[in-house]
Amino acid sequence: MINASTISINTDILRPTQVEIDLDRLAANYRAIQAHAAPAAVMPILKANAYGHGLVEVARHMQSLGAPYLGVAFLEEGILLREAGVTTPILVLGGIIGNQIPRFLAHDLTLTASSVEKLGQIEEAARQMGVRARVHLKIDTGMERIGVHYYSASSLLEASLTGDHFEVEGIFSHFANADAADQSYSRLQLERFNHVLGFYSSRGISHPPLRHMANSAAIAGFRSSHMDMVRAGILLYGVYPSDDTPRTVEVRPSLSWKSRVVYFKVIQPDHPVSYGSTWRSDHPVRAVTVPVGYGDGYFRSMSGRAEVIIRGKRYPVIGRVCMDQVVVNIEWDSAYNGDEVILIGEAENGAAITVEELADWAGTIPWEILTNVNTRVPRVYKVTADR
């Protein structure tokens, strides 16, 4: 973990293009979600390198905050966290292949069981290893990815009562459209899930497994879906899922993406810029080169649309985004080698560029912007000096 007071030192020795993660903001976001969702517990979702924020560092930070559970997508992510010393329970949300199960058990990872067959494989592997597996049952209420269909879930739930070598710790589903203005499908999915959960009362089971369904959009706008636990994904990182999601939780972006000017030039009239010669000026302009490109996750589709902030002012990226560099038109303003260039984040004067803006320029969604910041971009972690 890098103290905020050492950031300037590290920017001298690392690549000029960096992602800065504000761990204090991340903690504040977690606590805000916790307060909003109470009494439901909060599971931070850390898949895809913690939405570009850095899997191991974010997991350690969430563990230090007392998160009761962490969620990842794949076995490899869970193993990486265990090897990094993370001891918090970890649910692997994705589908499993039978020969992976011993590795889940060896690293004390919680499995998602989506069929009677998978549950049987978990039982057998746990029996052979002499351990007791932890399992969450996945119910498909309308996503059609993984999970037993809600209308045929009873066989899986019946089988889940018979295992000697696994404990069904949780049962969950996932919303398809919780970030939409029209919540009718989400209400239908919740109704389907609640109908499945009626299995437990019908069997006289007073303490059913941990129930969870709410994602970031449902945390903010669908309180009746919170149940025992909510899964905080993009909202944890300070980004709302959509314009239609009610702003009910006060969160702030925890990620900034910055680079520096590495070259200054004057471009003469009718001298095209970058591949394809798609941009040219009819008058002399000053321009700077910035060492970031689509090889870092700065999408080529943002060519001719993106803007950056230099010295508190927004300027356009001109020509096509290259793999490793972009060119910025500063007209006749001044900029110098080493000047900070803000790709995502806020300048001291309040000028800001958001993840949502990059998503709009790229024709995609904020999730894809965050998760596509390449791992060749160093992550620097900021925390209050006296923390």
Active site residues: 47, 275
H-helix segments, 91-215: 101-106, 116-129, 154-160, 184-202
Give the separation between CA 96 and CA 284, rounded to whole angstroms.
Answer: 59
How far apart are alpha carbons 268 and 275 in whole angstroms?
A: 17
Q: Residue 308 in contact with residue 224, Cβ under 8 Å?
A: no
Q: How far is CA 148 from CA 93, 151, 227, in A?
A: 14, 8, 20
In single-letter form, the type of residue at position 244 comes to: D
CA distance 114 to 140: 9
What is the DSSP secondary-structure string of 306-350?
-EEEETTEEEEEES---SS-EEEEEET----TT-EEEEEEE-TTS
Peptide bond into 89 cis (omega under 30): no
Please state, in angstroms and rounded to a whole number, the distance separating the CA atoms of residues 40 and 153: 24
Cα 119 to Cα 165: distance, rounded to the nearest angstrom: 10
Half-sphere exposure of 210 (CA within 13 A, CB side): 21
Dist. CA 229–CA 227, nearest whole Å:
6
Q: And the tokens for 261? A: 């000017």
Contact 366, 239 (CB under 8 A): yes
